[in-house]
Amino acid sequence: MDEQFPDSGPAMGGNTPEFSVAEISGAIRRTLEGTFGRIRVRGEITEFKRYPSGHLYFSLKDEGGKLSAVVWRGTVSRLGLKPESGLEVVASGKISAYGERSSYQMVIDRLEYAGEGALLARIERLRLRLAAEGLFDAERKQALPFLPRVIGVVTSAQGAVLHDIRTTIARRFPHPVLVWPVPVQGEGAAERIAHAIAGFDAIDGTAALPRPDVLIVARGGGSLEDLMAFNDEAVLRAVAACRIPVISAVGHETDTTLIDFVSDCRAPTPTAAAELA
C-alpha cells in the first residue's frame, strides 16, 4: 500500500506580490505625497522643540489624533507667527514620508492663528504669566516728565498716525520729535518694534542724537490679528525694561493690547498720546 501524504495546498506565497523594503516604502511615500499634495491642517501645537540646527519640531493634535510636523530652518522667518505649545493654528505645507523610520510628518511652511478664539487664548496666557511676574504692577510705572525736551516716537513712517502726532505736538507745544520708523504689523514687526524701543533707551545723549524724555509707541486701528505685534512678549519686555517713560497708543479707543498694561501710560488715540506727552 502506497504511503499517503496530506495535501500541501498551493505553493508558499501563491500569487501574493513580493516587495523589497525600499519598494514598499517608496510606494507608500508616493501615495501619501501624491494623494494629499499641498494641504492645510488645523490643530493645537504640542511637544514643541527648537533644535540647535534651527529646525522646529512639534505635533499638531485634536481630539481625534496627532500629526508630527517639522519647520525647516530656512522657513522659520517666513512662518507668519511664532509657534508655541498650546497654540491653535492652521498649518500649511505638505506630507512627507520617511521609509527609514516607517514614519510620516507634515513639512510646514506657513502658520496662521485658527481664528480669533486662538488669538485671545494666546494673549490671555501671556497676560497671566507676565502679570504673575509683576510686569503690570502700578509700582513699577514711571511718571511722565513735565514739558519734555525731546519726544521719541515708534510707529510706521506711513499713514495718518505719525502726521497726527507731529501736528498735535507742533500745535500745542512745539518740541523736537525723533521718529524710529517700524512696520506695525506682519512678519518681523514685533522684533523691529522691540528693537526701536531698546534703541531709544540706549541713546546716552552725549552724541549729536539727543535722548528722548518720553516715548510714544503708536499705530492706528485694525483687526485683532493686525494688532498682534503689540501683544508680543519681546515688545512687552522691551517696554518694561525701558528707562524712558512709555506712552502706548495702539488701535482705536476700544482696542486693548498688552502693551497698554505694561506701558507707563495708555492713551486712547495717537493724538491723545501727543497731548499727554
* pLDDT at residue 155 greater than cutoff 80: yes
Burial 108-140 (b: 16+ CB within 10 A, else e): bbbbbbbeeebbebbbeebbeebeeeebbeeee
Mean pLDDT for the stretch of residues 179-196: 89
Is the separation of the CB atoms in 274 and 177 below 8 Å? no
pLDDT digits (tens, 9 = 90+) for 112-154: 888 778 788 888 888 999 999 999 999 999 988 888 888 999 9
Higher pLDDT pick, 81 / 232: 232
pLDDT value at position 204?
84
**pLDDT score at 99:** 67
Distance CA 116, CA 40 (A): 18
C-alpha cell, 268? 486712547
Q: Is the pLDDT of residue 253 over 80?
A: no
What single DSSP character describes residue 150? -
In this predicted structure, what is the pLDDT of residue 5?
47
| One-letter amino acid for residue 24 of the chain | I
Q: Which residues of 186-219 are buried (b: 16+ CB within 10 A; e: fewer)?
A: eeebbbbbbbbbeebbebeeeeeeebbbbbbbbb
Question: With 90 as the cut, is the pLDDT of residue 60 above it?
Answer: yes
pLDDT (0 to 100) of residue 2 = 53
Highest mean pLDDT among 186-190, 191-195, 201-205: 191-195
Domains and CATH numbers, the chain: 21-117 (2.40.50.140), 126-276 (3.40.50.261)
- The answer to whether residue 184 scores a pLDDT higher than 80 is yes
Please, are residues 218 and 229 in contact by the beta-carbon 8 Å criterion?
A: no
User: Across residues 182-190, what is the average pLDDT?
Assistant: 87
Residue 208: predicted pLDDT: 80
- 1 pLDDT band (50/70/90 cuts)? very low
The pLDDT value recorded for residue 78 is 85
What separation in angstroms does the CA of 157 have from each of 89, 153, 199, 259? 31, 10, 17, 20
Q: Give the span between the Cα atoms of 30 and 275, in whole angstroms.
A: 64
What is the amino acid identity at position 1?
A: M
The pLDDT of residue 12 is 57
* CA 44, chain centre distance (Å): 15
Residues facing 44 on adjacent strands: 61, 88
Q: Give yes or no for residue 6 having a pLDDT over 80.
A: no
